[in-house]
Amino acid sequence: MDTTNVGELLTGFRVVTETPVAWSDMDVFRHVNNTVYFRWFENARVAYLERVRFCGEEEQGGISAIIHSTQCRYRRPVVYPDRVHTGARTVEVGPDRFVMEYRVVSERQQAIAAEGSAIVVSYDYRAGRKAPLPETVRRLIAEVEGFEPVPGSP
């Protein structure tokens, strides 16, 4: 299948995952259940976090990511069979968090199926509280996104 339009719809998303739609993803209404979109977001988010080395607490001294909040705007129903491409990017970086955006594109429909976002907080799992975003992660996000790093809080 031609995925030219898929690539265009994901312009600006630095990390993209591909997922086949499973028959079991559908619900009684004969389309993919709303909760599955959050799994697609999660898969793209984890790929992004791995790329900026913020996926395991061991790598950053017990500090890793935790989700503050997330949301989804459903645009088109997705049905089996299909393959979705989910883009993830960071659009804002703060002292202890960053905001991610997601976009799900249906390969079969060659259209945006959903868009969403999440606030990802830097969390010290050993101390049980939020922590400043590690400078290494901040620098890697800037590298991935192609913007100047924003210094952290003192």
* pLDDT tens readout for residues 61-101: 889 999 999 999 999 999 999 999 999 999 999 999 999 99
Reading the block at residue 136, the tokens are 């290494």
Could you give the CA distance from residue 146 to residue 57 in angstroms, rounded to a whole number?
25
The interaxial angle of helices 34-51 and 135-145, nearest 10 deg, is 110
Q: What's the pLDDT at 149? A: 65
| Mean pLDDT of the 28-34 span | 96
Q: What is the pTM of this model?
A: 0.92
Backbone phi and psi for residue 64, each to the nearest 5 degrees, phi listed first? -150, -170
Q: What structural domains and CATH numbers belong to the chain?
A: 4-145 (3.10.129.10)
For residue 16, pLDDT over 80 is answered with yes
Q: Which residues pair with 115 in a beta bridge?
A: 73, 103
pLDDT at residue 151 is higher than 70:
no
| pLDDT above 60 for 139 | yes
